[in-house]
Amino acid sequence: MIEGRADESVITRAEAPRAAGIAGLVFAALMTASLVMLRRHPGTNSTAEEIAKWYLADNERRVSLVGLYLVPFAGIAFLWFSAAIRHNLRAFHDRFFDTVLLGSALLFVAMLFAAGAAAGSLFAVVEFRGAPAPTPDAVGIARGLAYTFFYVDALRAAAVFMIVTSTVGLRSGVLPRWLTVSGIVIAIVMLVSVSFIALIPLLFPAWVAVLSIRILRRRALDVSEPPLDEPAGA
């Protein structure tokens, strides 16, 4: 029985880094795609005629519907990614860092879901409840709420996640210095930014994608490099 449990432990440790890499790439792809698709929604400067035309155009509605449904799957992939990251780094961070890492991941996903719900609320009521096209004021309120959830709340939680991951990776030497430093710099930009710049949200999935590729590449080279959950020279 003891030998069987040991074998299961080895398999779990071997699969965790790969799971983190794959889940991170899936999250990066889904989040980027959803952001691009949902930005096709009418803005606050759109006229009533433009808004009505958009809601009556099948192609536009379908693109936004796909983007809306990608949001929860992106959040699920990120939860999987964050769980695998915590598993990989568990040997290097204490309970404080572990709590902050978990809390920031959960907050990010919660705010991402809320932003997606706000962005798709008017679209959903028109598409599934047969409501008329919303007024410019209603579009402005829904869009402002979605932007607040995402830019003010979700991106801050994502920045905390990046800072904790980068700090642990830098102190332990598990991650390359250029990746951890770039993560901290990007996180600071996300923390202090007060404008709705379209490119800023793309920095987070891009960093997660690079980290995921690094994890997968490290697993491919684990003959010469220690796994992420073991200190070098252990």
* pLDDT tens for each residue of 169-197: 888 888 889 999 999 999 999 998 877 67
pLDDT above 50 (res 234): no
Look up residue 106 and give its amino acid. L
Minimum mean pLDDT range among 11-15, 95-99, 198-202, 205-209 = 11-15
Mean pLDDT of 135-140: 80
* Dist. CA 231–CA 173, nearest whole Å: 8
- CB-based burial of residue 177 (10 Å sphere; 0-12 exposed, 13-18 middle, 19+ buried)? exposed
Using a pLDDT cut of 70, give the percent of the chain over it: 78
- Whether residue 123 is contained in a domain is answered as yes
Mean pLDDT of 119-140: 77
CA-nearest of 39, 85, 73, 113 to 208 is: 85
pLDDT above 70 (res 200): yes
Confidence class for position 75, pLDDT limits 50, 70, 90: very high
> Which of helix, strand or coil describes residue 194?
coil
- Whether residue 230 is contained in a domain is answered as no
- Whether residue 213 is contained in a domain is answered as yes
- Whether residue 234 is contained in a domain is answered as no
- Whether residue 97 is contained in a domain is answered as yes
pLDDT above 60 (res 10): no
Cβ 167 vs Cβ 146: under 8 Å: no
Total domains in the fold of the chain: 1
Domain enclosing residue 139, as ranges: 2-219
- The separation between CA 225 and the C-alpha centre of its own chain, rounded to angstroms, equals 28
The token pair that represents 199 in the structure block: 């490119």
- Whether residue 224 is contained in a domain is answered as no
* Dist. CA 183–CA 205, nearest whole Å: 11
pLDDT above 50 (res 116): yes
Cβ 63 vs Cβ 69: under 8 Å: no
* Dist. CA 111–CA 153, nearest whole Å: 6
* Dist. CA 9–CA 78, nearest whole Å: 24
The token pair that represents 107 in the structure block: 């907050």
pLDDT confidence of residue 20: 81
- In 39-152, which ranges are continuous DSSP H helix? 48-56, 58-89, 95-129, 136-147
- Whether residue 79 is contained in a domain is answered as yes
Mean pLDDT of 139-147: 85
Ramachandran sector of residue 170 (left: φ over 0; alpha: ψ -120 to 50; beta: rest): alpha
Give the DSSP H/E element, type plus range, for residue 223. Answer: none
pLDDT confidence of residue 30: 95
Mean pLDDT of 89-118: 86
- Whether residue 226 is contained in a domain is answered as no
pLDDT confidence of residue 55: 73
The whole-model pTM stands at: 0.80
Identify which has the larger pLDDT, 6 or 108. Answer: 108
Cβ 51 vs Cβ 139: under 8 Å: yes
